[in-house]
Amino acid sequence: DTAVSQTPKYLVTQMGNDKSIKCEQNLGHDTMYWYKQDSKKFLKIMFSYNNKELIINETVPNRFSPKSPDKAHLNLHINSLELGDSAVYFCASSQVPGAGNTIYFGEGSWLTVV
Amino acid sequence: AQSVTQLDSQVPVFEEAPVELRCNYSSSVSVYLFWYVQYPNQGLQLLLKYLSGSTLVKGINGFEAEFNKSQTSFHLRKPSVHISDTAEYFCAVKSNTGKLIFGQGTTLQVKP
């Protein structure tokens, strides 16, 4: 069973559209994250939720809205997609956000905006 | 502020040769260091991590890393690489808030 699963894996869409990426973890973790990997493969955190509460928001445009219906799910909704949103988006999870806890990543969602 | 610098963007190496991927960190607080691997078109997989204790950390797939506080380094090594080790490798430091701060990544290219 996949520990952190996200769908879809590949998504091609036009500018201006609204899209969502879903994420689920079956590890029993309290904390979930969204990371963005740009075209130069640089990885940066976008959001973090602990037990459905937003704890990290890294100055991401408000077109991006995470939603956590329960602690096992963290979905990412993107409004009015722009070309610059093309990237790989990784969902991840960990136990409580202590510094020593390992963060487990999903397989990534490749978003291409045309 | 914490930061990570991976000194090599690409490391080409022949199969069965040893390899070292370099990582330096900057942190004014206790450090928790990680190495992740990303195979082509896949997610990130943890190779190893340093939290405390022994400075030599062994990970999966024959990799190991050494924490050097005086040099603020956490270099990744493998004595003999395989073609299947071709991937992107990321060094990361964990902040007190729990977020991972990644280096720029190193592409390991193993040639036959």
pLDDT at A65: 93
Span B23-29, mean pLDDT? 85
Burial class (CB in 10 A: 0-12, 13-18, 19+), B33: buried
Residues 6+ apart with CB under 8 A from B27: B2, B3, B72, B93
Residues A25-73 have pLDDT tens digits of 999 999 999 999 999 999 999 999 988 888 888 878 899 999 999 999 9
Q: Is residue B102 within 8 Å of residue B92, measured between CB atoms?
A: yes
- pLDDT at residue B97 above 80? no
pLDDT band at A99 (very low <50, low <70, confident <90, very high): low
pLDDT at A1: 62
- pLDDT at residue B29 above 80? no
Of A41, A48, A94, the CB nearest to B105: A41
pLDDT at A96: 76
Q: B13 touching A, CB under 8 A?
A: no
Triad B60, B66, B71: Cα angle to 5°:
150
Q: State both tokens at B50.
A: 């340093």
Mean pLDDT of chain B: 93
pLDDT at B98: 77
Euclidean distance between CA atoms B55 and B48, whole angstroms: 12
Euclidean distance between CA atoms B40 and B56, whole angstroms: 28
**Binary contact (B98, A98; C-beta < 8 A):** yes
Residues of chain A numbered 2-61 and touching chain B (CB < 8 Å): 4, 31, 33, 35, 40-45, 48, 55-56, 58
Residues B46-82 have pLDDT tens digits of 999 998 888 999 999 999 999 999 999 999 999 999 9
- pLDDT at residue B108 above 90? yes
Chain A residues closer than 8 Å to B32 by CB = 99-100
Phi, psi of B62 (to 5 degrees): 80, 5
pLDDT at A56: 84
Triad B71, B107, B56: Cα angle to 5°:
35
